[in-house]
């Protein structure tokens, strides 16, 4: 009985792992194959990688799209974790009835679907296009602004602050540090794991964001990576080998961030749940 | 901390209040500007009609149109099919995997966990395009199923109204099961193992332990994930657009995609799009209340 349970566990988890990994393997293999072989579902690596890469660079503006995605994601991530951690810390350390009420109202924003926001947001940024083009439609600021602050991240940091030892704040005060000094010099360095987890979550969602950039970015030179891939995929005569290569390249940064910081990520997630 | 604040003089308290607000004010203003203000704008917009920027108040006409809009009800029906079929399958699967993984004697535990979480690193667009090709008529999935003699003729995963929905459900489940699993796994590791030991001594089977200990202990996190998954499914867009474009016909069209089409694909009808979007808000509020109620009752 015990032994059969054991075997079942390994078999089940192995199947789940294979199903999870398989599309990645196929994606990498397909990046080395001709378009025809991809549609046939060829499972063996081919010799078309270099040619696919050349064609990808010739037919698309991959470099620009990567650059746009990198700029947007990095700035969004830095701003997001600073703003949200300040707020999460503030709500927890300087608790008051009014602030708790405000916090609860902020949490309600998690229930608002983006579908309900896209039309009014588009109109807000379209209105700004004339007076402040740098903030208007087709600008990087317009992509970033609505996604920088989320109630989820504030909640995440507030939960983590609950576990931050309060004596360290007192010690900082006795040492004559200002409140903001305590935050930057004591809280931030102590909570590295939490920041890492928040950073990974934000970077991934920003790098992968599709719907809002699709609406707000209109000129080709502003397009981000997901828009480029979606465009390639819905083209009239798509070259599947090229598309697969583009997808592999687009997935590399998030996969890399995940593997390098996996420990922080899991530790941070656990901290937020306690 | 709170005590010293209360004992301090009024000016110190006032100063502390200002310091406190200075920490949170940016976040509060940003959420107000990019969530609550647009929500109010959408509400106003839903009572207006017109093409593009020329809008005029028309009272309830958009809402009357909504009630007779066949495409809207198709999108609503599709979204609910995704919701009712996909969310329970994914949550049960994630719970099951996390319970299996929560065994400290398990070998390759780290590998299994990483592998099952891996789909979360892909962008929704990227994995959707990969799935579109894998599930193509002459594609990999059909080839494999035919080789294994599970099917005789290729299944039209993308172009058949029924199978297209299944493809989308399989795709979403692949992408999000690992994500939910991590939440359950974290919560499971917070459960004191002595509870299970006591249950074992009392002769409770593992099935009984699962329903009597694990599920009740994880209830808050199951509630949290089921609400976020519900909201996520009601917002479904990237997958449908990139796998089936909403087709064949409108058989996979989601509400988000319909709103997008109304605003940015056809002649822009922002007023009516805002009306449709408010229907999702109301659905989310109602479903969340139901989920809270259901979770509360079992106490």
Count CB atoms within 10 A of the CB of residue A240: 25
What DSSP element (H or E) covers A29? helix A2-30
pTM above 0.90, yes or no: no
Q: Identify from A82, A85, A120 which residue to disrupt to test chain B contact, counting B C-beta atoms within 10 A and taking the largest count.
A: A120
Nearest to B225 by CA among B107, B96, B129, B88: B88
Rounded to 5, what percent of chain B is helix, strand, coil? 75, 0, 25
- Give pLDDT tens digits for A8-62: 999 999 999 999 999 999 999 988 888 888 777 788 888 888 888 888 888 888 9
Same domain, B237 and B279: yes
What DSSP element (H or E) covers B48? strand B48-49
Confidence of residue B194 (pLDDT cuts 50, 70, 90): confident
Using a pLDDT cut of 70, give the percent of chain A over it.
96
Distance CA(B145)–CA(A252), nearest Å, equals 30
At residue B3, the pLDDT reads: 47
Total domains in the fold of chain A: 1
Same domain, B58 and B75: no
Distance CA(A160)–CA(A268), nearest Å, equals 8
Distance CA(B284)–CA(B278), nearest Å, equals 10
Interface of A with B in 211-250 (CB under 8 A): 211, 215, 225-226, 229-230, 232-234, 240, 243-244, 247, 250
Per the CB < 8 Å rule, is B206 touching A5?
yes
CATH number, domain of A75, equals 1.10.3720.10
Confidence of residue A270 (pLDDT cuts 50, 70, 90): low
Rounded to 5, what percent of chain A is helix, strand, coil? 80, 0, 20
**DSSP-based three-state secondary structure for B49:** strand
Chain A nearest CA to B219, separation (Å): 13
Total domains in the fold of chain B: 2
Pairing of strands B48-49, B56-57: antiparallel
- Give pLDDT tens digits for B147-186: 888 888 888 898 888 999 999 999 999 999 998 998 888 8
Do B94 and B180 touch, CB atoms closer than 8 A? yes
The residue segments making up the domain with residue A259 are 60-273
Q: Which of B32, B62, B92 is the last residue of a domain?
A: B62
- Give pLDDT tens digits for A154-195: 998 998 898 888 889 989 999 988 989 999 999 999 888 888
Per the CB < 8 Å rule, is A254 touching B123?
yes
Distance CA(A63)–CA(A249), nearest Å, equals 11
CB-closest option in A13, A119, A229 to B42? A119
Same domain, B147 and B289: yes
At residue B298, the pLDDT reads: 47
Residue B48 pairs in a beta bridge with B57
At residue A45, the pLDDT reads: 85
Per the CB < 8 Å rule, is A87 touching B281?
no
Distance CA(B240)–CA(B168), nearest Å, equals 7
Distance CA(B122)–CA(A208), nearest Å, equals 8
The residue segments making up the domain with residue B284 are 69-295
Residue B19 has pLDDT above 70, yes or no: yes
The residues, any chain, with a CB within 8 Å of residue A197's CB and separated by 6 or more, are A156, A264, A265, A267, A268, A269, A271, A272
């Amino acid at each position: 009985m015990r032994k059969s349970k054991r075997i079942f566990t390994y078999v089940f988890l192995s199947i789940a792992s294979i199903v999870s990994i398989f599309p990645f393997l196929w994606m990498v293999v397909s990046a080395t194959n001709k378009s025809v072989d991809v549609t046939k579902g060829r499972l063996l690596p081919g010799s078309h990688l270099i040619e696919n890469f050349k064609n990808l660079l010739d037919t698309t503006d991959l470099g620009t799209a990567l650059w746009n995605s990198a700029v947007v994601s990095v700035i969004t991530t830095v701003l997001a974790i600073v703003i949200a951690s300040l707020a999460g810390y503030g709500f927890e350390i300087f608790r008051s009835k009014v602030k708790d009420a405000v916090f609860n109202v902020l949490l309600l924003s998690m229930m608002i679907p983006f579908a309900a926001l896209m039309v009014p947001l588009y109109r807000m940024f379209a209105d700004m296009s004339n007076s402040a083009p740098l903030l208007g439609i087709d600008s990087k600021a317009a992509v970033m602004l609505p996604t920088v602050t989320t109630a989820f991240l504030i909640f995440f940091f507030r939960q983590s602050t609950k576990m931050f030892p309060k004596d360290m704040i007192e010690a900082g005060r006795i040492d004559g540090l200002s409140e903001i000094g305590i935050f930057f010099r004591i809280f931030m360095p102590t909570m590295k794991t939490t920041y890492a987890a928040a950073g990974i979550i934000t970077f991934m969602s920003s790098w992968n964001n599709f719907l809002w950039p699709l609406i707000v970015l209109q000129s080709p030179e502003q397009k981000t990576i997901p828009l480029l891939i979606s465009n390639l995929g819905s083209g009239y005569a798509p070259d599947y080998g090229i598309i697969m290569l583009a997808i592999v390249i687009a997935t590399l940064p998030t996969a890399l961030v995940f593997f390098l910081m996996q420990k922080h990520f899991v530790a941070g997630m656990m901290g937020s749940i306690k | 901390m709170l005590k010293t604040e209360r004992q301090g003089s009024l000016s110190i308290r006032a100063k502390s209040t200002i310091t406190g607000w200075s920490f949170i004010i940016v976040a509060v203003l940003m959420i107000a500007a990019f969530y609550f203000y647009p929500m109010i704008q959408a509400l106003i917009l839903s009572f207006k009609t017109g093409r593009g920027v020329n809008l005029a108040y028309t009272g309830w006409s958009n809402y009357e149109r909504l009630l007779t809009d066949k495409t809207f009800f198709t999108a609503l029906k599709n979204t609910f099919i995704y919701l009712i079929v996909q969310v329970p399958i994914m949550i049960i699967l994630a719970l099951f995997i996390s319970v299996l993984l929560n065994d400290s004697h398990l070998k390759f535990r780290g590998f299994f966990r990483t592998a099952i979480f891996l789909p979360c690193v892909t962008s929704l667009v990227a994995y959707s395009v990969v799935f579109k090709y894998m599930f193509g008529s002459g594609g990999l999935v059909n080839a494999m199923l035919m080789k294994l003699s599970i099917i005789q003729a290729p299944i039209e995963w993308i172009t058949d109204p029924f199978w297209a929905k299944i493809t989308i459900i399989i795709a979403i489940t692949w992408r999000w099961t690992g994500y939910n699993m991590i939440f359950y796994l974290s919560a499971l590791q917070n459960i004191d193992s002595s509870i299970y030991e006591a249950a074992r001594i009392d002769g409770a089977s593992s099935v009984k332990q699962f329903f009597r200990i694990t599920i009740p202990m994880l209830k808050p996190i199951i509630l949290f994930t089921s609400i976020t998954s519900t909201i996520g499914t009601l917002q479904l867009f990237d997958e449908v657009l990139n796998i089936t474009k909403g087709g064949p016909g409108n058989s996979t069209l989601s509400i988000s995609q319909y709103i997008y089409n109304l605003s940015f694909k056809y002649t822009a009808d922002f007023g009516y799009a805002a009306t449709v979007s408010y229907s999702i808000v109301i659905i989310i509020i109602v479903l969340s209340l139901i989920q809270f109620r259901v979770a509360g009752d079992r106490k």
